[in-house]
Chain A
Amino acid sequence: MKRCVTFFLVLTVLLCPLSAEAEEKIMAAVAANFMKPFEEIVRLYEAKTNINIEPTYTSTGRLYAQIIKGAPYDVFLAADEKRPALLHKDGLAENPFVYAKGQVIIWSANKELCQVKDWKEMAQNPCVKKIAMANIETAPYGTVSMIALKDMGLWEKLQPKLVFAQTIAQVFQYASTESVDAGFCAYSSAFTDEGRKGCFLEVKEAQGVTQAACVLRRAADKEMADKFATFLHSPEADAVKRSYGYK
């Protein structure tokens, strides 16, 4: 009996800090390509406001699936316009707004591979045996890369080389560890420390990736979430975005 009581006392003490934690925080669902700039933006915002931002980074499609199942996010920064618009239509989100415009590149850790005319030549180079691409359904950067390949009539031809990653971040991970020879990455990857060690070619034929964000209706503190959404447009945040190649 005594032991039992002690056990529950210890348990209560252990659990207490968790439930008592009522500090101000925003849960953000962020598309994987925007991870690096978002970290910087969060640092700026937290220094200014004392509000904690807790980000979850993964593919837009995955985040979308979580949100419609009721995941407790306050804001959603997608890598497309489609999914925020769908959430808005279903009454799950406020009006979406565009926060960044990205571009697809083909990135390689091997600098020699970029000594060609354009990305199509690089992709078809026999030395490039494996090319990573993000999931074509759930990752918008994957979808855009696929469309570009199809438009150029290369989709079927490159099939044997293609390797699929779950998110655009995993594509870059495969490419930077040289598990693959090249990868269809986000332009922003080229601006990271790791990204500068390799080379890239722009995939000009790919559509630009218009990235929209929205405040979710179920946000715990709407006003707080709105303020953060506004901050995404501030000159400070814009400077961070520009430094990672977003328009």
Chain B
Amino acid sequence: MELFPLYLSVKLALVTTVLLMIMAAPVAYVLAYSEFFGKSFLEALVSLPLALPPTVLGFYLLIFMGPKGGFGRLWEKLTGSSLLFTFSAIVIASLVYSLPFAVQPMRAAFQKIDQKLLENAYVLGLSRTAAFFRVILPNTMGGLAASAILVFVHTMGEFGVLLMVGGSVPGQTKVASIAIYEAVEALNYHEAGIMCMTLIPISYAFLLLINWLNRRS
């Protein structure tokens, strides 16, 4: 009986959440505050992973990150090792897969800010960057936290994409959802049961936290 896949799931979810919060912030900011040509195209593109079956994402990621794919080759040149079937590969897959779950709530939080607050900040001489860190961020903490937790639980529950690009390497890409699936397939119901029973309270606790944060903001 191994609990390592559970640890790997939590690690994947944490790394994905941290990276995605940083990457999604500028996108959400642009979508919330500016008008430009092609904005609705960008919006649709960001939400696309929501609408696509994980198999479609998985298929393209497999090609794209493979030794023959553009990104895979670039990665190999930079790091000297191949990308596919490593922890880094499933982090990249999770970033794409969870992107809408980070951007949408963040954007909503940014839009909810009282415009007068921002105008005051600009009048008082704050630059846009300073205003972002000193006015927007402190006032959207609840929304940001909700977005982070949503990304976290969504990544914990990720399955289809990882099944296609993960390769179920123990200690690297064999996360809880894959390990549970394989245990059930191999009729190891006891092992599957233990992992499921551990996963449910973790995910439930995080969802309770989201509700609480949403009510507060």
Residues on A facing B (Cβ under 8 Å): 59, 61-62, 65, 129-130, 132, 135, 137-138, 162-166, 174, 177-180
Tell yes or no: B1 within 8 A of A by CB: no
Instruction: Please name the 5 residue pairs, one residue from A and one from B, whose CB atoms are nearest each other, closest first.
Output: A163-B167, A137-B186, A164-B168, A179-B66, A163-B85
> How many inter-chain contacts with C-beta < 8 Å in the A-B complex?
56
> In whole angstroms, what is the CA distance A178 to B68 when docked?
7
Chain A residue with the shortest CB-CB distance to B66: A179
When the two chains form their complex, are residues A61 and B186 in contact, meaning their CB atoms are under 8 A apart? yes
Using a CB-CB cutoff of 8 Å, which residues 106-124 of chain B contact chain A?
Answer: none
**B82→A129 contact, CB < 8 A:** yes
Chain B interface residue count, CB cutoff 8 Å, equals 19
| Residue B2 at the chain A interface, CB threshold 8 Å | no
Contact A65–B187 (Cβ < 8 Å): yes
Q: Is the CB of B182 within 8 A of A138?
A: yes
Chain B nearest CB, measured from A109 CB (Å)? 9
Per the bound structure, the CA–CA distance linking A132 and B68 in Å amounts to 17
Question: By the criterion CB–CB under 8 Å, are A179 and B168 in contact?
Answer: no
Nearest to B168 among chain A residues (CB) is A164
A61 to B67, CA, bound (A): 31
A68 — nearest CB in chain B belongs to which residue?
B187
A166 / chain B contacts, CB cutoff of 8 Å: 163, 168, 182, 185
Complex contacts, A135 vs chain B, CB 8 Å: 168, 182, 185-186
Q: Which chain A residues lie closer than 8 Å to B167 at the CB level?
A: 130, 132, 163-165, 174, 180
Check B66–A65 contact: CB distance below 8 A: no
Interface flags for B156-200 (1: CB within 8 Å of A; 0: not) read 000000010001110000100000001011110000000000000
Q: Is the CB of B185 within 8 A of A130?
A: no
Q: Is B62 located at the chain interface by the 8 A CB criterion?
A: yes
Are A180 and B85 interface neighbours, CB within 8 A? yes
Tell me which residues across on chain B come within 8 A of A174, comparing CB atoms: 167
A-B contact pairs, 24 of them (CB 8 A): A59-B185, A61-B185, A65-B185, A65-B187, A130-B82, A130-B85, A132-B167, A135-B168, A135-B182, A135-B185, A137-B182, A137-B185, A138-B185, A163-B167, A163-B169, A164-B168, A164-B169, A166-B163, A177-B62, A177-B66, A179-B66, A179-B67, A179-B84, A179-B85
Return the chain B residue nearest A59 by Cβ: B185
Kindly list chain A residues whose C-beta atoms are within 8 Å of the C-beta of B168. 135, 163-166
Interchain CA distance A134-B127 in the complex, whole Å: 57
Residues of chain A with a CB closer than 8 A to B85's CB? 130, 163, 179-180
B residues less than 8 Å from A163 (CB atoms): 85, 167-169
Please measure, in the bound complex, the distance between the C-alpha atom of A178 and the C-alpha atom of B168, giving whole angstroms: 17
Interface: B63 (CB within 8 A): yes
A65–B66 CA distance with the chains assembled, in angstroms: 32
Min C-beta distance of A224 to chain B, whole Å? 29
Q: Give bound CA distance, A135 to B185, whole Å.
A: 10
**Measured CA separation A162–B86 after assembly (Å):** 11
> Which residues from B are CB-within-8-Å of A62?
185
Further 9 A-B residue pairs, CB within 8 A, beyond A129-B81, A130-B84: A61-B185, A61-B187, A62-B185, A138-B182, A162-B169, A177-B62, A177-B66, A178-B67, A180-B167
User: Which chain A residue has the least Cβ–Cβ distance from B63?
Assistant: A177
* B-chain residues with CB within 8 Å of residue A129 when the two chains form the complex: 81-82
In the bound assembly, the distance between CA atoms of A62 and B84 in angstroms comes to: 25
Closest CB in chain A relative to B4 CB, distance in Å: 15
Among B63, B85, B169, B185, max chain A CB count under 10 A is at B185
Which B residues lie within 8 Å of A130 (CB)?
Answer: 82, 84-85, 167
B window 73-87: CB within 8 A of A: 81-82, 84-85
A130 to B166: give the CA distance in the assembly, Å: 13
Q: Mark B43-73, 1 if CB is under 8 A from A, else 0.
A: 0000000000000000000110011100000
Checking B62, B174, B182 against A179 with a beta-carbon cut-off of 8 angstroms, the contacting residue is: B62
Least CB distance from B54 to A in Å reads: 14
A178–B185 contact, CB under 8 A? no
A195 to B159, CA, bound (A): 29
